Structure 1
Amino acid sequence: MSKYQYIQPCRELSGYVQYYWMLDMEDTYPLCEPHRLTPQGFIEIVFYYGDRYQLVSSGQRESHPRASLYGQRTGYLDILPTGRVGLMAVVFTPVGVRDLLHMPLGELANGCYSLGEVLGKEGQELEDQIMTALGFDERVQSLERFLLQRLKRRNEFENNRMRMVITRLLQNRGMLNVEQLADYACLSKKQFERVFAAYVGLMPKQYLRVIRFLHAVELKNRMPETDLATLAFHAGYYDSAHLANEIKTLTGHTSSTLFQLMCFSEDAESISWFLEG
């Protein structure tokens, strides 16, 4: 039996954290096919307080951090549970995480890092607190104390500028170009690309690509009978072949396989929550 819980952040963190979620499965999870993590448009930290997960790459398995910081992705990552599943995650807003980590987020792109590796002693201490906490509420309380302390050091001006850009980008479902976004931010294209990458974690063109892909998944989930050509037209792709190629590049799946896996799943729900802000 599995238990899924979801909690929104406190008011002070609402512009920085989208939500917290926890998945706890009482039964031991047998070794099976890896779970594929695809581009999501946000950065998250996941605490694996149950049995360890493994990273799977080119058929090889390696140790996976118990407290994992996932950067923005333009590709996919496979992880494999090895026993009882127990995990808790914090999903950040696209911009807010910069003022909590205090580092250029572009350095984290397409990576998975241990919290101690990124945040040093503070990260290791937080990991220890989460691993020994007695339940979801206690884990969220420990995490929010940590985040609120780090929030005292932030650049509010650039944060607000990028927050406005992201809002416009999501409202248009990624169907804008870099020049339009740079003009909206009142920056040159070069300045905008530098600031955007530091605050969001990808170059603007890469992020627009991810958002268009998420929009295609969102449309398919709302209109499951829609064919690929119609989906491509409404999501801003040249044609069905363009969309199919993007799906293969970003997820490693064919379009038919991806939609079978994601539509009406928790992953598809999280995409809808994210795009609706």
Structure 2
Amino acid sequence: MGAVTALLHGDRDPSIAGMVIDSAFQDMRTLATDLAQQLGFRIPGLMLSAVLAMLRLSVKSRAHFDIFDLEPIAHVDQTYIPALFTAARGDTFINPRNTDALFEKYAGDKNLVKVGGNHNTTRPKFLMHSIAIFFVNTLGCETTVDAVLDLNDLSPPAEQEDATEDQNDSRTSTDPSDSAEANNSPPRAGDLSNGLSMPSPPREHIQFDSDRLIEAAVPFSCFEEDRMVEEALEQSMKESLVDDKERRNEDMPPIRKEKSAL
């Protein structure tokens, strides 16, 4: 959720110098569908919509926010903060296709680095090198990468490091880091794309309303759960009817009022 939170906030705060986005999902609906498929459940679309609607009502009543607002894909086309995207090719929790979709739509300077492993695999040394270089550039640090972090302590286990030696797709920028990895020498800040060195704008603090407090969740009975299911189904049907009505209104030609002759 850290990467998703950053993407949801990025279009509102241009003072951020740079973001590293690791394994973010594009929206809650896609995440729920992917998780259901990964678990081997063949859930019909209508049933999945009903379950999501029930979950939506439950979270709204308890935490006072809409889970359907967790939609980073709707924000990235208005975000211009330099961003370094990364994802694991073998991630079965948040499919790497989510990162691809976010990367394609992102409006600001961007770079994509894909690594081996899964969602919880320790990230390899060359990715840490890339992140360090990225922040040296975006923060405008007058120092070397060696002074930012100790590169000698970034080596993952040998089997994980071997797994990350696969070739990345054409949109990634890991070639400089890969060559540095082979030579056992750290890459330099100028090796990556110059687009990631965009200076950050003047920093201004943004104040947020902190009066919204989250109430503690209260356990509910099976009867209340049945009621919530009924409300979710009813709400889902109402939204479907409204969407159908709006589509019909859009398809209808405008009605011309003719003046009657007196």
The bucket for the TM-score relative to the shorter chain is: under 0.3
The structure with higher relative contact order (CA 8 Å, sep 6+) is 2
TM-score, length of structure 2 as denominator length: 0.24
Bigger CA radius of gyration: 2
